[in-house]
Amino acid sequence: MQICSIASGSSGNCIYIGDGDSRILIDAGVSRKRIVDGLKSIHVSPESLDAIFVTHEHTDHIQGIPMMTKYFHVPIYGTAGTLDGIRQKDSKGLVTMEHLYQVYADRPVTIGSLEVTPFHMSHDAADPVCYTVEASGHKVGMATDLGVYDDYTISHLEGSEVILLEANHDISMLETGPYPYSLKCRILSERGHLSNEDAGELLCRLLHDDLKYIFLAHLSKENNYPELAYEAVKCKLWEELGMNVLPFDLSVAKRDKPSKLVLTGGNEQNTETGQLSMDFLESAL
């Protein structure tokens, strides 16, 4: 499988996963133009997409869906609560019932050669889910927009070769920042977002010999920095496991550019905009 984060952050999220037979997006929370440009940067035609799987109905995950259905007639998959939210926010009525397909947590959906499994997450949305994707014995896991994780979360993500893992905020930055108190409480709650420290602790539970790539994802623009998230997760790996040399590639998914294209099995491929894992140091999210 090929994996590329087209956009990641509190202002918009979109992930591409595909192989030689099937191609999907997880979320479409940026404009159609940005999605199309991101796909073209990795030589994928938007017309070739087989489906868009949606985690939940917040705008930073569904913004591009109406125009993607209008121009490319891509089927949209989500839970009942998520699909209802998409329809309610589609002011132009571009997303019709014929575009929508309901998924259920813990019931895999087969899209060509890809097996996509939704699983419950804790977030302040109607019926949110995360996803894993498997094909040909390889597995990719996504864990963003969850306020807390548990053994159920870990059981679904275990065995993933590539993981997109939320590192939304630095707790001190959030607590002392400009957000209203109510919003701070929401983010810090069990239905909010994972902090950098939470991400590091969860990663410690998910390590295995075949884990090759970790993308730290969904960073807050106001309450985090790419360098800070990266160092906080590395520090947690050192504190918990004594790990000072990482046996996998750790990088931060960018807000405004596609990531490098990585392949299950441990290979990677640079695109025009995706470079080496530390290239986030060149520009802040």
Q: Is the pLDDT of residue 112 over 60?
A: yes
pLDDT beyond 60 at 263 = yes
Tell me, rounded to whole angstroms, the distance of Cα 117 from its chain centroid: 14
What is the set of domains in the chain, with CATH numbers? 2-271 (3.60.15.10)
Residue 271: pLDDT over 80: no
pLDDT of 5 over the 70 cut: yes
pTM for the predicted model, two decimal places: 0.92
pLDDT at 85 over 90: yes
pLDDT at 265: 79
List beta partners, residue 263. 2, 267
SS (H, E, C) 150-190: CHHHHHHHCCCCEEEEECCECHHHHHHCCCCHHHHHHHHCC
What is residue 17's predicted lDDT score, i.e. its pLDDT? 98
Q: pLDDT digit string (tens) for 162-178?
A: 999 999 999 999 999 99
Q: Residue 191: is it exposed, middle or buried by C-beta count within 10 angstroms (0-12/13-18/19+)?
A: middle
pLDDT class of 269 with cuts at 50, 70, 90: low
Mean predicted lDDT score pLDDT of the chain: 92
Q: How much is the pLDDT for 244?
A: 84
Given pLDDT bands bounded at 50, 70 and 90, which one contains residue 199?
A: very high
pLDDT band at 207 (very low <50, low <70, confident <90, very high): very high
267, pLDDT greater than 90 = no
pLDDT of residue 182: 97
Q: Is the pLDDT of residue 186 over 50?
A: yes
Query: Which segment of 107-111, 130-134, 278-282 scores lowest on mean pLDDT?
Result: 278-282
pLDDT of residue 41: 96
Q: Which two tokens stand for residue 254?
A: 């960018």
